[in-house]
């Protein structure tokens, strides 16, 4: 790309979920047209875009139509086939590159890349065969067995305490290639969303502290409590090393564990904007989706500034059911009566338990104020408090 792609052009995204929808909103705010490739006729991003190519990710005709329509293309989903991105890249600027996404799709390749970049990660072992299963070191147990591919939001993961549980878990997961990670003495998790352009310059969102429930992100808090300047610099250095090692162009989220002894290890990465960065729409002057647009269009990257303390609550489909299992609509009026409440619903037509239906960001002038408001919102919605 020799010159920026200016507003008025069409920017495309593979995947029609909520991340694609928020990308489309950010691009349209700047004056771009948007195109989405997704097989679902009612995909959240497809419903708000100028063009919806309703087909599978590897459909040659659909990819050709996207390449014809778009000045640049990105992805909103880490499991979009890397070959689809490679095919598009032959005709139109594509960020991130298929090769970078392919690394993020395979836990073994991901961990190898992280280690090559000089960033610590959890001790682990690849299990593809009976021999590798038998050779697992005792020091890796207890651990977490994760499928090497297609795992997200806690899917494809089993905690194992001993060898018998490990053998049973590998069978439960279909004896597919897996990575066994040693269970570490975790204090808390943070994430860092970094944006890197084609010249290698990068900026990042403020570090976020995350709380998971049942393997799904539940709460994100920024500024991240417990993260001092030294720890923040180590996290930024780790993310920069990984992005540089991938030759990455676009928005990348790196999840990191802070251990009880204060050390920092990389957990995993996502080659796209991330659930934990959604607060940036309301808490920062530049959101992660603005950065995604800027990266793919070759526009200047500016460091986001946090103007409000924020906590974000994930809104899962469980909220649409009462204790007896009857469908209901959450009390949005009561939620929106709270100062600093920013409700984002994704336009999904069916609520299902565990399905991400939206998020709620509570902003305030101080972290204490944001925590007070999130507790009030959680009480209204029937969610656990902090």
Answer yes or no: are the C-beta atoms of 361 and 323 closer than 8 Å. Answer: no
Q: Is 18 annotated as a binding residue?
A: no
Q: Is 199 annotated as a binding residue?
A: no
Q: Is 78 annotated as a binding residue?
A: no
Q: Is 328 annotated as a binding residue?
A: no
Q: Is 57 annotated as a binding residue?
A: no
Q: Is 264 annotated as a binding residue?
A: no
Phi and psi dihedrals of 131, rounded to 5? -65, -45
Q: Is 358 annotated as a binding residue?
A: no
Q: Is 189 annotated as a binding residue?
A: yes
Q: Is 58 annotated as a binding residue?
A: no
Q: Is 111 annotated as a binding residue?
A: no
Which whole-number Å values give the CA distances from 172 to 7, 85, 108, 146, 181, in the listed order? Answer: 50, 32, 20, 11, 17
Q: Is 314 annotated as a binding residue?
A: no
Q: Given the DSSP bridges, would you call strands 10-14 and 33-37 parallel, antiparallel or unpaired?
A: parallel
Q: Is 268 annotated as a binding residue?
A: yes
Start-end of H helices in the chain? 18-29, 60-69, 82-89, 98-104, 107-116, 130-134, 163-172, 229-246, 280-283, 288-297, 332-336, 367-381
Which whole-number Å values give the CA distances from 236 to 119, 204, 313, in the listed order? Answer: 11, 8, 24
Nearest by Cα to 379 from 316, 331, 324, 311 = 331
Q: Is 340 annotated as a binding residue?
A: no
Q: Is 267 annotated as a binding residue?
A: yes
Q: Is 197 annotated as a binding residue?
A: no
Q: Is 146 annotated as a binding residue?
A: yes
Q: Is 151 annotated as a binding residue?
A: yes
Cite the annotated binding site for ATP by residue number: 107, 146, 151-157, 181-184, 189, 212, 267-268
Cite the annotated binding site by residue number: 107, 146, 151-157, 181-184, 189, 212, 267-268
């Amino acid at each position: 790309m020799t010159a920026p792609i200016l507003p008025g052009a069409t920017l495309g995204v593979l995947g029609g979920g909520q991340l694609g929808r928020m990308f489309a909103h950010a691009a349209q705010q700047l004056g771009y047209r948007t195109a989405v490739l997704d097989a679902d006729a009612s995909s959240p991003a497809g419903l708000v875009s100028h063009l919806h190519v309703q087909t599978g990710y590897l459909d040659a005709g659909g990819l050709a139509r996207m390449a014809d329509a778009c000045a640049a293309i990105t992805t909103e989903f880490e499991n979009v086939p890397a070959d689809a991105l490679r095919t598009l890249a032959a005709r139109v600027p594509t960020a991130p590159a298929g090769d970078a996404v392919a690394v993020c799709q395979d836990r073994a390749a991901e961990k190898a890349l992280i280690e090559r970049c000089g960033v610590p990660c959890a001790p682990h072992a690849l299990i593809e065969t009976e021999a590798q299963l038998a050779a697992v070191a005792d020091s890796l147990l207890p651990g977490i067995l994760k499928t090497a591919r297609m795992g997200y939001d806690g899917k494809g993961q089993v905690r194992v305490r001993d060898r018998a549980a490990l053998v049973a878990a590998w069978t439960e997961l279909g004896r597919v290639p897996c990575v066994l990670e040693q269970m570490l003495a975790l204090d808390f998790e943070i994430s860092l969303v970094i944006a890197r352009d084609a010249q290698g310059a990068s900026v990042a969102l403020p570090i976020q502290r995350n709380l998971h429930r049942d393997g799904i992100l539940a709460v994100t808090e920024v500024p991240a409590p417990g993260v001092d300047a030294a720890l923040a610099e180590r996290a930024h250095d780790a993310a920069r090393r990984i992005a540089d090692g991938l030759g990455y162009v676009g928005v990348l989220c790196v999840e990191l564990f802070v251990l009880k002894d204060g050390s920092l290890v990389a957990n995993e990465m996502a080659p796209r904007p991330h659930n934990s960065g959604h607060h940036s729409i309301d808490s920062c002057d530049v959101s992660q989706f603005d950065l995604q647009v800027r990266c793919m269009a070759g526009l200047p990257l500016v460091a986001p500034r946090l103007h409000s303390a924020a906590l974000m609550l994930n809104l899962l489909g469980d909220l649409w059911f009462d204790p007896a299992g009857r469908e209901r609509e959450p009390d949005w009026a009561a939620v929106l009566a709270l100062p600093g409440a920013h409700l984002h619903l994704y336009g999904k037509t069916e609520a299902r338990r565990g399905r991400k239906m939206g998020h709620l960001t509570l902003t305030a002038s101080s972290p204490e104020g944001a925590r007070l408001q999130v507790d009030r919102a959680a009480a209204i919605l029937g969610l656990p408090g902090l």
